[in-house]
Amino acid sequence: MEPELEAARAGSQAVEIIYLEQGLHRTPKKLPEMIQERIDQAASYATVIVLGYGLCSNSLVGVTARRQKLIVPRCHDCISLFLGSPARYDAVFRDHPGTYYLTPGWVKENQDPLGTYQVEYLPKYGSKVALWAIRESLKNYTHIALISSGMPESEVLRRRALENAEFLNMTYIEFEGNLSYFEKIIRGPYKAEEFLQLQPGETITQSLYF
């Protein structure tokens, strides 16, 4: 999310953004502890703490607000952030089931399926097993979608997304991204339909999202 967040906070340099490793998204059980650690570190000086995560495989469950209110996007999947709102994500998900989404940061960091195949699976398993493994892991998907938010190198990213679709024999589609949710993370407003607001001492639970 770094390219989108940095674009969204232009003119708001007083806002501090703390980034965690992208790869942690693949190990959601480790995320609550690491996010809590960063919250506790910032609690001594922050006026407001806003998370840049969706619920995402329950990776926020157990995280607790400390000294100040904790604001959290009210979305199950972080793709909502790239599309501009939970409502738009729900509409896209309803109209295009079976879609694997790619974002600029995901592609550039080789976290796309083709990158996983080339960098992780191929050296470890060899071509035959690696090809089976990546296709097996994505067997329930029928479409590859690039979310384009006007980030630099958009044509390079588009070509890579098309390569993913061809490699996996999926249909390629593209959605226009929207930075408005990222902008709200930076400066609000934090409306109830888009954000949870936890008071000091409250803990994130799955039930808060329903």
Domain spans of the chain, in order of start: 2-78+180-209, 86-176
b/e per residue 40-79 (b: at least 16 CB within 10 A): eebeeebeebbbbbbbeebbbbebebbebbbbbbbbbbbb
Cis peptide before 189 (omega within 30 of 0): yes
pTM, rounded to two decimals: 0.88
Backbone torsion region of residue 115, taken as left when φ is above 0, otherwise alpha when ψ lies between -120 and 50, otherwise beta: alpha
145 membership: H or E segment, kind and range: strand 143-148
**210 residues of the chain, pLDDT tens digit each:** 888 998 888 877 788 999 988 766 666 678 889 999 999 999 999 989 999 999 988 889 999 998 999 999 999 989 999 999 999 999 999 999 999 999 988 888 888 999 999 999 999 999 999 999 999 999 999 999 999 877 777 788 899 999 999 999 999 999 999 999 999 999 999 999 999 999 999 999 999 988
- DSSP letter for 28, please: G
